[in-house]
Structures are given as C-alpha cells and as structure tokens.
Amino acid sequence: MTCLRRFPSLLALALVAAGLSWANDVFHGWSKDGTYLVYETPTHNELVELHFCQSDPQTTPSWPAALNELERLDGSLSCVRFMDPNRAPYQWKTTMLLPSPTFDAQGMSLKHELVTDGEEAGFVVEAGGKKQVCGASGLLDDSKLQKAWWHPSGRWLAVLIDGKLRHCKLTLKGTPPAKGDKKKKK
C-alpha cells in the first residue's frame, strides 16, 4: 500500500489494465426531431470517440447527409463513430437538444432499482400502472443508475448506468405537458 501512496500513477495503471475507468460517457442529446443522438466515450489512451447514433432503426436520421456515406457500427444502436471528434460535421453541437436530467417526466418515472438478472436485464420505466423494461446488458448487482434524460416527445430515454450510456425507445405513453405549462415568448 505504501508503494501506491508514493506512486499514484501505479494505481491508475492498474485500473486501466483491469479495464476500469473513472471517466464516464458524455451524452450530448438528441437532434431536435429525435431521430439521432450523440454521445462521447473516453478511451483508454485519454482520447474521445464521438458517436452519432440512430434513435430508431425504422426512422431515417436527419443528421448531415455526409454521415450516411460512412460505415456504421451496429450494436444496440446503429452508430457512426469518429475516433477524432474534430472530423465530425461542422457545428454539430448547435443542432442538439439536451434536456435537464431527471428521473420523472410527462407522467412517466424511472425506477432506481435495476433488473440485473434474468432475460430482461435493464432499467424499468413506469407509466399509468404499466411497466417497460429497457434492455441493458452487462449489469451487475451493484450497478448504479446515475442520470436520465427524457426526449420532450416522450418517445426516447437515455440513461447513464455505471458511466455507460444506454438508450431506449419508449412504448409507454405518459402525460404530455399541458399547453398552459409552456412559457410565452416576449
């Protein structure tokens, strides 16, 4: 232990070697129409990968046309990845919508307890007495739900679990915000 106090970089090196990281994914939000989302993932060599991902496989994303020509990585989401964020489309951040993080929105709520075993591992959304489990593989018994962002349309939910971004297309219907709740522009 004395060695680790004298050489804290050894602890960092040991964590990197074990595949652990202190860095979290960063969610940048959805396009205004919600057809794509953007997030970044830190890499082991202190670089950042930027991901442009299709929100819904049945909907064509409204992202810049140049992204359609690039190779996609298909996993839980279909994404175009930039290993150098500086190569991403010019001013992409200005087109993003990032709501404030909250665990409740539009009559829907996110349970803080995760489902970590069985066929439906993931996070649970409730609305009107109904539940939807949004899949999230690789969860452990001590996994923690950190943040949640709801798209204003109520169709998508992004969460941060153990520093990793997860995304879900919601099939539940919440309560849309009342028209009187919107602030009038002056």
Q: Could you list the residue range(s) of the whole structural domain that residue 70 is in?
A: 22-97
Q: Say whether both 91 and 118 belong to one domain.
A: no
Look up the pTM and report it: 0.79
Provide the residue-wise pLDDT of the chain in tens; the chain has 186 residues: 444 444 444 333 333 334 444 589 999 999 999 999 999 999 888 889 999 999 988 889 999 999 999 999 887 889 999 999 999 999 999 989 999 999 999 899 999 889 887 778 899 999 989 999 998 888 888 999 999 999 999 999 999 999 999 999 999 887 655 555 544 444
Q: Say whether both 120 and 91 belong to one domain.
A: no
Q: Say whether both 55 and 90 belong to one domain.
A: yes
Q: Say whether both 73 and 132 belong to one domain.
A: no
Tell which of 79, 97, 115 closes a domain. Answer: 97
Identify whether 159 is part of a domain: yes
Q: Say whether both 119 and 85 belong to one domain.
A: no
How many domains does the chain fold into? 2
Identify whether 58 is part of a domain: yes
Q: Say whether both 90 and 30 belong to one domain.
A: yes
HEC assignment per residue over the chain = CHHHHHCHHHHHHHHHHCCCCCCCCEEEEEECCCCEEEEEEECCCCCEEEEEEECCCCCCCCCCHHHHHCCCEECCCEEEEECCHHHCCCCHHHHEECCCCCCEECCEEECCCCECCCCCCEEEEEECCEEEEEECCCCCCCCCEEEEEECCCCCEEEEEECCEEEEEECCCCCCCCCHHHCCCCC
Identify whether 128 is part of a domain: yes
Tell which of 45, 64, 97 closes a domain. Answer: 97
Identify whether 12 is part of a domain: no
